[in-house]
Amino acid sequence: MNLSDQYEVKKKNSFVPKKQIKLHLNKYKTLNETKAIIKRLSLQSYRRPANLMISMIQPILWLTLFGALFHNAPIYLFEQYKIQYREFLNPGIIIFTSFNGAINAGLSIIFDREFGFLNRILVSPISNKSSVIYSCLIHTWLVATLQIITIIFFTTYKSNNDIVFNIQQLIVSISVSTIIISNVSVISICSALILPGHIEFIALTTLLINLPTLFTSTALAPLSFMPTWLQVTCCINPLTYAIEIIRSYSLNKSLALESEIIKTTLVNINVQQSILMLITINVISIVFAEKVIKYKYD
């Protein structure tokens, strides 16, 4: 190496910092990106208030119509509790409302795919593509929480119960519903990334998933009303565990982890086991969704 080459090497080395400072900005970037996408989704909901109002009115219609339909049903039929059908129905409507909102969480993504906005988001200098999933989850949770609050206050007005009790019920309902919202929203987002268009997405969620999931749970009837094959199907459905957790608290005014909420001839499941199963399914769904979005768009 001659003198000129040595001079060039020294000149380049002089621009290299002797001490490198590492800044952990990825977490902050992901947080800011998630906030930005949530703001965009919130603006869409704000500019379409009819959708938000319909989502609020729908659970009240379910409560009113189904409660009136079975108003004269014998109250002693519902397990060991002497309650009206409307009181039995409330937890099922809360969870199904959360499920119904979460199953449509991927609808905004699939429309963004069709109109090209998703490509703009992905080719932008975004540090973590999973922020698209996180933002959809949080926005769906916010809308579903408003629906749950509406149901709780409507039932409070109808039954004239103590508001303190309903605040505690609200906390339990939102906590359990959050697991269902997260799980179902992730499945919806994966479907939106895999399916070719919104027609297939709506057909899958509305026709093949929505109502069959409702009728294969304990939202509308207890397990003792069902044949054995349907009891087995209900025990596979995660909605059953969430409904029975809220129902157990609503009827017993407390929630003991060892109390059995699923009682069949084949299996007995308590509250603690139900919560563990819901959390396990939720974690598996989130990991699977992150794998899908990395495979599709990395």
Question: 244, 218 in Cβ contact below 8 A?
Answer: yes
Question: Residue 243 in 3-state DSSP?
Answer: helix
Assigned token pair, 142: 């916010």
Q: Phi first, then psi: what are they for 100, rounded to 5°?
A: -65, -40
Report pLDDT for 41.
82
Assigned token pair, 236: 């596979």
Report pLDDT for 163.
45
> pLDDT tens, 58-105?
777 777 777 777 777 665 555 566 777 777 788 888 888 888 888 888
Entry field: residues in the chain: 298
Q: Phi first, then psi: what are they for 115, rounded to 5°?
A: -95, -5
Report pLDDT for 81.
62
Report pLDDT for 11.
53
Question: 173, 90 in Cβ contact below 8 A?
Answer: no
Report pLDDT for 73.
67
Write down the residue that tokens 């899958």 correspond to.
Answer: 204
Question: Residue 253 in 3-state DSSP?
Answer: coil
Question: Residue 16 in 3-state DSSP?
Answer: coil
What stretches in the chain show pLDDT beneath 70? 1-28, 73-81, 125-129, 157-166, 293, 296-298
Q: Phi first, then psi: what are they for 268, rounded to 5°?
A: -125, 130
DSSP E strands: which ranges in the chain?
260-263, 268-270
Report pLDDT for 206.
72
